[in-house]
Amino acid sequence: MSALRLTRLGPRDALLVLAAGDLFDTPPSEEGARRFLAMPGHHLVLAIEGYRPVGFVTGVEMCHPDKGTEMFVYELAVDPAQQRRGIGSALLRELQAVAAERGCHAVWTLTETDNQAALATYRALGARESNGTTMLEWDGGHATR
C-alpha cells in the first residue's frame, strides 16, 4: 500500500480535480475547477494514494466586517472503499492548518442530520453542534418582490 499524500491544489491543478472526478457529487468541469482554484480564499486539499485520488476537502474563507474571517468546510469526500482509515480526518486537519495559516478564527460546516459518517468525523476532531440555527435555501440569483 502506498503512503497517503495530502496535496493543497492551486490554480494550475485543475486536471488533478478532474482526475478525482468520481469523488464529487457530479463530475467537475475543467472550467469550474480552474475558476474555483483561482479564486482567492478557495481551497482544495486532495488525498492521493499512489497515483489515485482517494479523497478531498474544499474550504472557502468567509469574511465579515464585524465577525472576522472563518473557514467554511464546503465539502468532504472519501472514496467509499477507503473510508474508516482516517483519510477524512487527515483532510480536515490539513484544512484546519490552512485556516490557521490564513488567520481564520473559526472553522465550521453544515451537514445532513442523518449523515452519521460525517457527524462522527467532525465530532472526532472536536466539532460541536450549534443549537438554535436553521439552514434556509432558495434557488440562486432569483430575487422575488
CATH number for the domain spanning 90: value is 3.40.630.30
User: Which band of pLDDT confidence, cut at 50, 70 and 90, is reported for residue 132?
Assistant: confident
In-domain check, residue 133: no
In-domain check, residue 100: yes
Residue tagged 469523488 (cell numbers): 23
In-domain check, residue 142: no
| Domain that residue 114 falls in | 4-8+42-124
User: Which band of pLDDT confidence, cut at 50, 70 and 90, is reported for residue 141?
Assistant: low
For residue range 57-100, list pLDDT tens digits in order.
Answer: 999 999 999 989 999 999 999 999 999 999 999 999 999 999 99
In-domain check, residue 77: yes
Q: What is the count of structural domains for the chain?
A: 1
Q: What is the pLDDT of residue 140?
A: 74
